[in-house]
Structure 1
Amino acid sequence: MRILVLLIVLCISGSTIGQSDDEKQLKAIYDKALTDGKAYEWLNYLSNQIGGRLSGSVEAQQAVEYTKRQMDSLGLDRVWLQPVMVPKWTRGTPEFAYIETKPGLTTNVPICALGGSVATPDGGLKGNVIEVQGIEDLETLGAEKIKGKIIFFNRPMDPTKISTFEAYSGCVDQRYSGAEAAGKYGAAGVIVRSMNLRLDDYPHTGSMGYGETSIANRIPAAAISTKGAELLSTTLKLNPDVKFYFKQNCRQYADVESYNVIGEIRGSVYPNEVMVVGGHLDSWDLGDGSHDDGAGVVQSMDVLRLIKASGYKPKRTIRAVLFMNEENGLRGGNKYAEVAKSKKENHVFALESDAGGFTPRGFSFDCSDEDFKQILGWKSLFEPYLIHMFVKGGSGADIGPLKDEGLVLAGLRPDSQRYFDHHHAENDTFEHVNKRELELGAATMASLVYLVDKYGFQQQKKVKG
């Protein structure tokens, strides 16, 4: 028995001794995140005490104040607010819509105004409907058939795409540019199928734009739930003369001042080399923005805390940047990059989490082939945590404006299969975030930041040399 116990002790000791310093550091980070994480607690407050944080809203300002207080409490070297002017758009009273198959015979359907849309007339808008599968169909129809009608964009997300973000990219142009395009042909309004792979009654909002269209010629645009879209499409096939009615009361105001929230651990060896980890603090107003992007915000804050708690002293300066106004303007990301470039700050790495708080699967990287080869050398360190996806291409919207020669950009890539069930919808709420998955994401981000800080990038050294 004593011999067996001794063998077990020797095996455990041997495995510990055999671990590299990097393996030990990653384990310390993951252990801390999973036993003493703060991300879930912070997200609970953001979601349930503040709620949806649409740019320019009272809730957005409350989120700025709350996250600054929390970062102040972490003992960072510096925490500050970076002013940025942001758009202010309000939804107004809840939207209402119905399908009318004949006078007096109606069926209500769930809709929501798209962000940035104009309101309908005070009495609402009713008209015949033309279903299309994309903007390209408008030219085929022509102004004669479109004028005065409500255009119904009904191209769904492609369910055969394993990457749901690829499926989203394949049809989101309808949402963003549909009203601008249909308005040129004299359409009275636009209804867009929600960007959602499942059938449900939640309409999904999102930003849209009018391009150079004059204010007087802008037409109202709304999203309809996927079940509502299926019903409308089927009804149109049975009765092409069906009418659609919708009313929305949204309004655009003058820009208002808001802030990016920034916390920093100053580097001990290369303080002028800056690494950024971030997410966007604003959200849409229908839910509480837990996945999009409360998760990224609290994970980024926890990266700084985990780095400090693990006992590692960074060589380079690490900043958590909570960007304002990603959803309907990207003003925060642009402002941060503008200030950084005006101060000639040397950014060497930026990582964003803006794909939900689901189980982390890996990262995407926007970098040179040489830097990517170096990154792939770290992949085995993540495999014990089931992190296996290291791919080139894409990072994050807010850090995109920082892009420069030699700068490595990265995006956390969680499992995406459930993300668009909640994206920009009323059910993007706290109860749909799993505590352990959220904490694993924070630990995964902190681990990558540690490795980049410790080793730097060879290609960057060549560029700067």
Structure 2
Amino acid sequence: MRALIIFFCLLISGLSLTAQTEKTEDSLKIRSIYDMSLLNGKSYEWLDHLSNEIGGRLSGSFNAQKAVEYTKAELEKLGLNKVWLQPVMVPKWTRGEREFAYVQTGPGETRNVNITALGGSIATPDGGTKAKVIEVQGIEQLAEYGRENIEGKIVFYNRPMRADLIQTFESYGGCVDQRYSGAEEAAKYGAAGVIVRSMNLRLDDFPHTGSMSYGDTPVEDRIPAAAISTNDAEYLSSILKIQEDLELYFKLNCEQHEDVQSYNVIGEITGSQYPEEIMVVGGHLDSWDLGDGAHDDGAGVVQSMEVLRLMKELNYKPKRTIRVVLFMNEENGLRGGNKYAEVAESKNENHIFALESDAGGFTPRGFQFTAEDTQFARILSWKHLFKPYLIHYFELGGSGADIGPLKGNGTVLAGLRPDSQRYFDYHHASNDTFEHVNKRELELGAATMTSLIYLIDKYGLKNISTSKVERPD
């Protein structure tokens, strides 16, 4: 009996020592990942080229194709096991000549305002659209005014992002329906056009574009839609309070074309032990055309590429297949994400994990996950390894748009969550440019993503009892 007790004590001691050794090894490995990213990173150089040599990369554009060719060539330089292009048909919308708008408060009395066409909008008539304005605080308020008060007018949606919400993406979600569905709903009441307050927490002169939809609205009933800067939204709202009969003129020159072929850019390191278990890391290669898409989502693209480069530089040989996917057409269609999931299903591929970076290149705070409780418990057991890097946010509740179609069959989805307080200052606007991305913050994000991929590759994500000792499977 005594011998048996001694045996179990030694066994427990051995397991504890093994676990402690693994934690030390993991801590050292993660330290080496951060060191490599911060001292010998490539992400900032890649972003410089995407932003300053290529620029805005709207789906179906010449710049989008240049970005495909550039990132494919850079991935090939890394010596990955495979690099390929995945064809996908994408929408093609062009902005045309710069938009123009003014508010007319009296005969010969006008003030120019800053606007930009929403992605997918039709053009105004050749001479532009000029009409009286009715201000509403949201789509639901249209019914209160009715057709008799809306018909022939320009609907001005002016519900702002809530400044009291700490989670800025929650604030964005609370008003983005005005942008996406505002024209579709206003057209039902006979509106002549739509002007939407920019999705921005800051007061400035930059109008923010973004996708919109006409739904099932017949082509002949569609109306032009544009975003107005937050400063000009404040002005328009204030002047409407004292002069309800003022008129607004705006001119859009955009055009929707036939779909064109583009590509997702994919590269992988094939797993050494479990090659059939696939882990995806990615961002979207397309951007809006106003700036150069540095934060949205050039940062996510280069961080994802850097994950595989860091593993190669550190001579880490993953057990599982790690695949970088640079998705095309997240901004105005999600065609790339849907195509990738469709092909994966047709090939019966086993995706165990997918991580997306699509929230800007700011200081990383942690991750959000879509996972089962036991899977999330395993992930939480690694949280202490990120504490030295001030990474503390590990929460259930979301991931990324492009990887969303992979949900199901036990696949864990995750989204990198940088500090978001400044993100909507630049989101979809002409000031989303390279100089607004901090090199160190970008590199910290790449290292954070690589560290999580490393841990999941090493330990896997099979459902386990939370009381068991964490060790490699």
State the TM-score, normalizing by the size of structure 2.
Answer: 0.93
Other-structure match for 1:75: 79
Establish whether residue 117 from structure 1 lines up as the match of residue 114 from structure 2: no
Rounded Cα–Cα distance in structure 2 between residues aligned with 1:389 and 1:61: 36
Q: Which residue of 2 aligns with 1:455?
A: 459
Q: Do structure 1's residue 420 and structure 2's residue 424 form an aligned pair? A: yes
Q: Find the partner of 2:94 among 65, 90, 94.
A: 90
Q: Distance in 1 between matches of 2:319 and 2:21?
A: 25
Query: Aligned with 1:31: secondary structure?
Result: helix
1: CA distance, partners of 2:64 / 2:299: 15
Structure 1 residue 265: Cα displacement: 0.2
Contact 2:184–2:214 (8 Å) recurs in 1:
yes
Aligned to 2:17: none
Aligned partner of 2:348: which letter?
K
Per-residue CA shift, 1:215-254, capped at 9, x if unaligned?
Answer: 1110000000000000000000010011000001000000
**C-alpha deviations, 1:418-438, integer Å up to 9, x for none?**
000000000000000000000
Match of residue 347 from structure 1: 351
> Please, which of 36, 41, 47 is the counterpart of residue 43 of structure 1?
47
Give the letter for the 1:322 counterpart: L
- Give the counterpart letter for 1:331 in structure 2: R
Taking the aligned partners of 1:270 and 1:421, their CA distance within structure 2 comes to: 43
Shift of 1:197: 0.2
Aligned to 2:253: 249
8 Å CA contact 2:142, 2:186 repeated in 1 = yes
Aligned equivalents of 1:20, 1:269: Cα separation in 2: 23
Q: Which amino acid aligns with 2:455?
A: L
- Code of the residue aligned with 2:30 in structure 1: it is L
Listed as ranges, the matches of 1:239-278 within 5 Å are 239-278=243-282
Contact 1:407/1:460 (<8 A) preserved = no
- Point out the more displaced range, 305-314 or 328-337: 305-314
Could you tell me how far apart the structure 2 residues matched to 1:366 and 1:104 are?
A: 57
Residue 212 (structure 2) aligns with:
208
Secondary structure of the corresponding residue to residue 38 of structure 2: helix
CA contact (8 A) 2:279 2:353 kept: yes
The aligned residue for residue 369 of structure 1 is 373
Aligned-pair CA distance for 1:457:
1.1
8 Å CA contact 1:364, 1:391 repeated in 2: yes
Aligned partners of 1:278 and 1:300 also within 8 Å = yes
Q: 1:143 aligned to 2:147? A: yes
Q: Is the 8 A contact 1:132 1:154 kept in 2?
A: yes
- Aligned counterpart for 2:433 among listed residues 429, 435, 438: 429
Q: Return closer, same or farther for 1:20/1:101 CA change in 2, 3 Å cut-off.
A: same
Return the letter of the residue paired with 2:49. Answer: Y
- Do 1:124 and 1:245's aligned partners in 2 also have CA atoms closer than 8 Å? yes
Tell whether the 8 Å contact from 1:76 to 1:264 is kept in structure 2 after alignment: yes
> In the TM superposition, what is the alpha-carbon distance from 1:308 to its structure 2 partner?
1.5
Q: Choose which of 169, 176, 198 in structure 1 pairs with 2:173.
A: 169
State the match for 2:195 in structure 1.
Answer: 191
Q: Within 5 A, what are the aligned runs for 1:307-326?
A: 307-326=311-330
- Distance in 2 of aligned mates of 1:411 and 1:206: 21
Compared CA separation, residues 230 and 289, structure 1 to 2 (3 A): same
Asked if the contact 1:406/1:460 (under 8 Å) is kept, the reply is no
Gaps of 5+ in 1: 1-15
Structure 2 gap segments, 5+ residues each? 1-19, 466-473
Is the CA contact (8 Å cut-off) linking 1:406 and 1:459 kept in structure 2?
Answer: no
Residue identity matched to 2:352: V
Letter in 2 for 1:127: A
| Gap change, CA 1:17 and 1:399, over 3 Å in 2 | closer
Distance 1:220 1:77, change over 3 A: same
Indicate the residue corresponding to 1:229 in structure 2: 233
- Offset from partner CA, 1:154-181 (integer Å, 9 cap, x none): 0000000001100000000000000000
CA drift at 1:458: 2.3
Aligned-partner SS, 2:241 = helix
| Pick aligned residue for 2:58 from 46, 54, 58 | 54
Offset from partner CA, 1:37-84 (integer Å, 9 cap, x none): 000000000000000000000000000000000000000000000000
Partner of 2:394: 390
Per-residue CA distance 1:85-144 (angstroms, 9 max, x = gap): 000000000000001001210000000000000000000000000000000000111111
2:163 pairs, out of 124, 146, 159, with 159
- Which contiguous aligned blocks of 4+ residues in structure 1 show a shift greater than 6 angstroms? 16-19
Question: How far apart, CA to CA, are the structure 2 residues paired with 1:460 and 1:98?
Answer: 62
2:220 and 2:260 map into 1 onto residues whose CA distance is 23
Corresponding residue SS for 2:250: strand
- TM-superposed CA distance for 1:17, in Å, is 9.0
SS at match of 1:89: strand
> TM-score, normalised on structure 1?
0.95
Q: Alignment RMSD, CA only?
A: 1.2
CA distance in 1, matches of 2:463, 2:289: 42
1:409 pairs with 2:413: yes
Amino acid at match of 1:45: H
Cα distance in 1 between the residues matched to 2:128 and 2:435: 35
Is contact 1:273-1:346 (8 Å) kept? yes
* Displacement of 1:307: 1.3
How many angstroms apart in 2 are the aligned matches of 1:374 and 1:249?
Answer: 53
Q: Does 1:292 align with 2:288?
A: no
Give, as a single letter, the amino acid of the residue that structure 2 aligns with 1:212.
D
Matches within 5 A, 1:320-339: 320-339=324-343
CA distance in 1, matches of 2:194, 2:410: 43
d(CA) in 2 for partners of 1:445, 1:439: 10
Q: Output the CA distance in 1 between the equivalents of 2:205 and 2:199.
A: 12
Q: Secondary structure at the match of 1:20?
A: helix
